[in-house]
Structures are given as C-alpha cells and as structure tokens.
Copies of this chain bind each other. A is one copy, B any other.
C-alpha cells in the first residue's frame, strides 16, 4: 500500500469534513481499543466512533460471523423483506435484552442512522397524539435532518438548516440554570397554565446523558419526574439512546437504573456491534399504529449489521459484561476526579456516567488543546459542549486495564503540557 496524501481529502472531499482535521492522519487498521495509521503508528482510541464502537474495533467473534455470512452469499441488502438474519436479530434482541428487563417493545427499522430513528419517533408521536409540538431540552443533540435538527439545541447546527426550525419548545435540562434550581418546576408551570403559550406536546425527547451537549447526566430523580409529568399530561416520552445506549452508561439501556420506561426508544451507533450501520426504534406495542410503509428507507435491511448486531448481544447474555463496565467506569471516574483535584487551575468539573464521562473546564480552549496534545501522544479523544469546553472519554467498553492506564497517562501528560505553555484565562 502506498502512502496516502492527506491532500486528497482537501482536494476532493467537501469542506464539511471535520474529524479528519482534528485527527490529521490516515488510518488503515484497527483492533479492539487501538487504531493504526499508514505508518504503523498506534493510537489508543478513547473516542470509539462517538459511541458507535462500544465493543471496540473489529471484535473477533463478530468478524468471524460476518465473514462467514458474506462467504456464503447471505443476502446483503433486503430493504424490509424478511430474511433469516433479521428474524434472528429480532428474536435474540427480544430474548436477551427485552424480556429479562420486562420490557415490551415492537422493533422498527427506520434506516440505519441515528437521525432516522429520531425522525421516525417524532412522526409516530405526532401521529399517535394528533399534536404537533415536541418538547426537547437544552443542549440535546438528536441529528442533522430537519426533523431531528429541530429538537437539537446547538445553534451552529441549527443555523445550518437555513430555515426556521419549528414545532418544538426547548425546556431546560437538569441543572441547566444552576444546580439548585429545579428546572421541572418551570416545565410544569408551562404545562399547567393554559395561558403559557406552550401547548401540551406530542412528546418529550431527551438523552439521559447528553453527549454532544457536554456530557451532562440527568439525575435519576429528574428522569423519574419527567416520566411522571409525561404520564400526567398524556405526553409520550422518547429516550434517544443512540449515544448513551448499548452499555455506554453501564447498563444496556441508559435509563434502566432510573427505573423509567420510555414510550419510544431510539437506538443506533453501537446497536450494529461492529460499526456496521443499523438503527432501531423501539415502540410500545399499543403505539405501533404505523400504516405499512408510512416511514421507509433503502438500507433499513442491512443484513451485515443484523449478523454483527446479533453476535454482539452475546455480551449481554449474563451479567459479566455489565459488571465489568461498571467496575472499569469507577476507575475512569476516579482518574478524572483526581485530575480535577490535582490541577485546580483548570477549574475542572467531572461530568457524566459510566463510560460516558469528561471534564468541563472553565478555561477557554483548554479542552481542545488537551485533545490536540493527546493526539500527538497517540490518543484519540474528542471534545464536547456548546463551547467545546469538555474533553470527553469514550473508550471501548471492552478495553482492558492496561489500555485505560495508558490512556490516562497520555491525558495527564497532555494536560501538563498545555498547562506548561499557556496563560490560563477563565471565563
């Protein structure tokens, strides 16, 4: 293989490209929590495809099953026709995930992207209730197509729509104003006062931990009150588990520990297991009033992804995997708390839950500089938040102790390097 010139992308790919600017090298190989570039340089991946690679890169069991399937000329693309891998996925998902959690959902395949599952959820909520408005939350992120973008908070992304985004009311997420202020008291006043200008919406849509919005974890009691408000007013509750789901926060669904049961759940990213495109929308059976074909899409029947997704569910057949996530996540959390304590000058705050954590710093530009330094040192790590004020740790859930430690070391060294060269200016 000859070396690829990064200029290829500059010359031929649209200006919209972004991660290849933060991580400017050409990757060729990946395995578990590691990636390699063309020159063979190794990187520790604390990014994991923004949550699409919870099982790491190229898991050997999934890989083997996928290759077998392809070699046997299994159906690759089937729209929403019936195939054996789809049946197997449906049954396994039901047996391994839904039943043990006492959940009863119909599975919809809406096209293999996060934005598509969100769009399908919003449509269905509007159809079921006959209402038009959706309540979304500050710093929520749900996708880039117009319906999903309407419920996304980020102003830069919203402006990209080029049209006013409608039929949505944004309410304050947990701790939005400050940690003491009860944001749900506001929300309820808006609902109960018939002069508030806010109509009872079709649905509320939220992430239990906000990823792009800055690794904000809603408290369980806040989520529980949201659920009870929804019930009281006949509002559907949609949990967007695209990023926080599939174990990222410590349990398969991010909402399990809060003890709530959403009406609709949106999943994508790691549901395919191997980085293979797949999305599902889970629907309480009573709400599944779609007419056939009312929502569709060409790649909703991606059998390669069914194969890997089914294989991935093996991780959930007993509690071993879940326990290991929770144990390791304590280690990660402790590392971050130590960092914040040790370097008070970064004015840091640890945020998040499980393997979805980060440090917000009041020092402008610090998170981006730490991330850039880390990349130089062989670690891939993203920033998040409205002002990129958070550096975000998203290792594969399958990472081992040694991988974590190496990553931590790079992060701390990067932070030191940044602190050594920069006059810090707090916000």
**Residues A16-49 near B (CB distance < 8 A):** 16-21, 23-31, 35, 38, 49
In angstroms, Cα B147 to Cα A280, docked, is: 21
In angstroms, Cα B76 to Cα A133, docked, is: 38
Residue of B nearest to A134 (CB): B163
Q: Using a Cβ–Cβ cut-off of 8 Å, how many residues does chain A contribute to the interface with B?
A: 153
Q: Mark A99-110, 1 if CB is under 8 A from B, else 0.
A: 000000011110
Contact for A199 among B15, B139, B155, CB less than 8 A: B155
Contacts of A23 in B (CB 8 A): 81-82
Q: Flag whether A385 is at the interface (Cβ < 8 A).
A: yes
Q: Mark A108-128, 1 if CB is under 8 A from B, else 0.
A: 110111111001101101110
Known: A58-B73, A127-B162, A144-B119. A385 touches B195 (CB 8 A): yes
Q: Flag whether A364 is at the interface (Cβ < 8 A).
A: no
**Residues A77-113 near B (CB distance < 8 A):** 77-84, 86-88, 90-91, 93-94, 106-109, 111-113
Contacts of A145 in B (CB 8 A): 115-116, 119, 145-148
Q: Flag whether A67 is at the interface (Cβ < 8 A).
A: yes
Quote the shortest CB–CB distance from A90 to chain B (angstroms): 4
**Residues A265-303 near B (CB distance < 8 A):** 268-269, 274-277, 281, 283, 288-299, 302
Quote the shortest CB–CB distance from A155 to chain B (angstroms): 5
Known: A12-B106, A77-B49, A289-B15. A166 touches B164 (CB 8 A): yes
Other 12 A-B pairs with CB < 8 A, given A16-B296, A123-B162, A275-B302: A9-B86, A9-B90, A14-B108, A16-B288, A17-B80, A26-B82, A38-B84, A53-B77, A138-B189, A139-B193, A157-B294, A158-B197
CB pair B12–A163 under 8 Å, yes or no, is no
Which of A8, A147, A385: most chain B Cβ within 10 A? A147
In angstroms, Cα B147 to Cα A292, docked, is: 21
Known: A119-B145, A127-B162, A277-B277. A94 touches B12 (CB 8 A): yes
Known: A4-B87, A185-B181, A277-B112. A199 touches B79 (CB 8 A): no
A-B residue pairs, 3 tightest by C-beta: A77-B275, A126-B162, A170-B197
Quote the shortest CB–CB distance from A107 to chain B (angstroms): 6
Contact for A213 among B35, B77, B195, CB less than 8 A: B195
9 contacts between A and B (CB under 8 A): A4-B82, A8-B91, A9-B82, A16-B291, A18-B292, A26-B84, A126-B161, A156-B291, A172-B186
Quote the shortest CB–CB distance from A157 to chain B (angstroms): 7
Number of copies: 4
Q: Flag whether A425 is at the interface (Cβ < 8 A).
A: no
Residue of B nearest to A185 (CB): B177
Contacts of A119 in B (CB 8 A): 144-146
Contacts of A189 in B (CB 8 A): 138, 172, 176-177
Contact for A116 among B6, B26, B113, CB less than 8 A: B113
Q: Flag whether A72 is at the interface (Cβ < 8 A).
A: yes
Q: Flag whether A421 is at the interface (Cβ < 8 A).
A: no
CB pair B16–A274 under 8 Å, yes or no, is no
Residue of B nearest to A118 (CB): B145
Contacts of A140 in B (CB 8 A): 197
In angstroms, Cα B153 to Cα A163, docked, is: 20
